[in-house]
Structure 1
């Protein structure tokens, strides 16, 4: 374990963060330098790249998340397939940068979420709340020759939490202020908000999933237009909001009205949700459906943050590039400034990948990195598992 001892003693580490989001479009890889730990962490983003996922593999992963007829063998094999996919992306990134495995201290890998059931149900007399991210970190460590920290959500779920959201820890470390309150919204497949009151500590951070992000829009774009997503919000901008469909969505969706802490995923905003939307769009133009769902997505975000009345709202994730979604959000937010994030090297694209690099570094430093006020966990825990190369 000399390698591990050397790693622990370092104060400056070169770390890669890697993940694929709920949209399963690409593997995101970021390279950072991290000095220090906890609130003293200094993060320098060196590079970020995305590697598209083969469309057939993407469809198989999405089917795994929604099809009740999937066999245990499919899950078992896909766990290694995704691990190999992540390793391939990391190796390509390292090669593109003219680096070698010896130049990297650590990889923080989130994996690919396929199941997330934070609500507890007794099964054979035992607690069964659970979460599952595929892409085994041991596979990544073996294929890259680099130490890997992975499986970040399980410990929080095991201690009574939702295992999500995890982004608030990064927001707290980098952006907490003694001078003003701030709110951060990450619009990925699911949207989540982090609210940092002035001079807050780690367990005073308020954060939770607000509801849909790009997930409903992307699914409907594929069904109605055979496109992966609404690029720059052009389809939504060309349509008009249908009042009847908008009312249906407000009444139908129960998640955005739930009290926090709360988290969600494709298990709620999946095929059944999309099917129920399409049953209520008779005589509605496809572009109008996209426009209505885009406005509804903005509404669910606003509904959940209006109580905090933040001085500014900083947006990250793919949704920040959807001009129509951003415009709807600005309409709802009134005088509150709404802008894409671009601070300390953190951008709309790289934020989540940077998070998992940071969480890997915190694990090595022995820091408990869940935000209990956000996840609902009854204690602070170490996030992740160490898999040596």
Structure 2
């Protein structure tokens, strides 16, 4: 047997694995690096977060990614080069973190690398009959493995699509394994560039679990903050707080068919873009809005579409606990709007459940890697959006 395969086989049988989860979302602010100690698998999964850090992307790296990000027409040479380059960069970010944490590669069993999403194309958006759902994450896993010297699992979303899903959101699997609680209906709301939530029933029925995107989280807020204020995001929601919501523009922003489509569903910045807002402003005759009023309106747009999607999933007479994570949890104007629109819900953050909200997505990919190696026995049925599937392609460092 190949020695690397032998090692992989042995670590799958260990009672505990040390796994680094990597996540970079559509906001492209940096790479989340989470070192986890994970015991068990499936419903018996236990996760302890040992170290966490967000390594910022340089302005140069962001600029290079934006040349292909969410664009239908690109330079394919540049995309090809980025795939290897980002894999190497992510690998070096991991080794730098390990050095800062006083650890060596030999003390880590696996890296779980999500990669950098550059295009998301569910069939509901591309509408080309002969083609399936599609998505593309770059940052090649072989380059991560060779750079770090650690076995790497990557490209998780392709198997989800192959089994009938849309490649997102994948949080549902990890959410169910580590956040479900008997007797409590939970809604795990993650607000990254795109917002999504996972419903976890209090009866722990895996067949009732579902996840869906709701629409924009921070993607439009961040885009217009960069454009008008030359800042990466609206820190503390202060810009939005200084503006006034324009109801005419808000009404047009909410008219896209995505919001009426049944769940589960996914979307991305390919739809919710600068052009989406420009067209809505033209239709609502609000092109002269001040930047502050536009920011207030976009923040309310995210809040209302998130709250409306959650409300549609709630059953009358039942109690729900909403746990926040992702960058949007730090925007009090956004979270305040959601709380106002869901007065019957109890709100908290995943920090209260032992996983910091900023680290949650990276931790969940570590859990997916653990499940691919040592689990795979939990059945979610074959429902749309939540197929029973083991995800992640294996890259050996040698």
- With normalisation by structure 2, the TM-score equals 0.92
- Once residues 226 and 205 of structure 2 are traced to their aligned partners in structure 1, the CA distance between those partners, rounded to angstroms, is 42
- In the other structure, the counterpart of 1:248 is 252
- In the other structure, the counterpart of 2:298 is 293
- In the other structure, the counterpart of 2:70 is 66
How many residue pairs get aligned? The number is: 386
Which of 239, 242, 252 is matched with 1:238 structurally?
242
1:356 aligns with 2:328: no
1:12 aligns with 2:20: no
- In the other structure, the counterpart of 1:305 is 310
- Once residues 335 and 202 of structure 1 are traced to their aligned partners in structure 2, the CA distance between those partners, rounded to angstroms, is 25
- Once residues 351 and 379 of structure 2 are traced to their aligned partners in structure 1, the CA distance between those partners, rounded to angstroms, is 24
1:381 aligns with 2:382: no
Deviates more, 1:349-358 or 1:156-165: 156-165
Q: Secondary structure at the match of 2:82?
A: helix
Shift of 1:271: 3.5
1:47-196 counterparts in 2 under 5 A?
47-119=51-123, 127-196=131-200
Q: Secondary structure at the match of 1:260?
A: coil
1:295-326 residue CA offsets vs partner (Å, 9 max, x unmatched): 11000001111131552211110000001101
Q: Does the aligned pair in 1 maintain the 2:172–2:198 contact within 8 Å? A: yes
Shift of 1:369: 7.4
Change (3 A) 1:262 1:55: same
Q: Secondary structure at the match of 1:200?
A: coil
Q: Does the aligned pair in 2 maintain the 1:341–1:347 contact within 8 Å? A: yes
Q: Secondary structure at the match of 1:262?
A: coil
Q: Does the aligned pair in 1 maintain the 2:12–2:373 contact within 8 Å? A: yes
- Once residues 325 and 176 of structure 2 are traced to their aligned partners in structure 1, the CA distance between those partners, rounded to angstroms, is 15
- In the other structure, the counterpart of 1:263 is 266
Q: Does the aligned pair in 1 maintain the 2:186–2:200 contact within 8 Å? A: yes
Q: Secondary structure at the match of 2:177?
A: helix
Q: Secondary structure at the match of 1:177?
A: coil
- In the other structure, the counterpart of 1:220 is 224
Q: Does the aligned pair in 2 maintain the 1:207–1:373 contact within 8 Å? A: no
Shift of 1:27: 0.7
Shift of 1:233: 0.5
Q: Does the aligned pair in 2 maintain the 1:153–1:163 contact within 8 Å? A: yes
- Once residues 350 and 374 of structure 1 are traced to their aligned partners in structure 2, the CA distance between those partners, rounded to angstroms, is 28
1:267-282 counterparts in 2 under 5 A?
267-277=270-280, 279=282, 280-282=285-287
Shift of 1:45: 0.5
Q: Secondary structure at the match of 1:111?
A: strand
Deviates more, 1:270-279 or 1:259-268: 270-279
- Once residues 379 and 85 of structure 2 are traced to their aligned partners in structure 1, the CA distance between those partners, rounded to angstroms, is 28
- With normalisation by structure 1, the TM-score equals 0.94
- In the other structure, the counterpart of 2:336 is 327
Change (3 A) 1:372 1:322: farther
Can you give the 5+ residue segments of structure 2 that lack an aligned partner in the other structure? none
Q: Does the aligned pair in 2 maintain the 1:185–1:314 contact within 8 Å? A: yes
Q: Does the aligned pair in 2 maintain the 1:161–1:372 contact within 8 Å? A: no
RMSD: 2.0
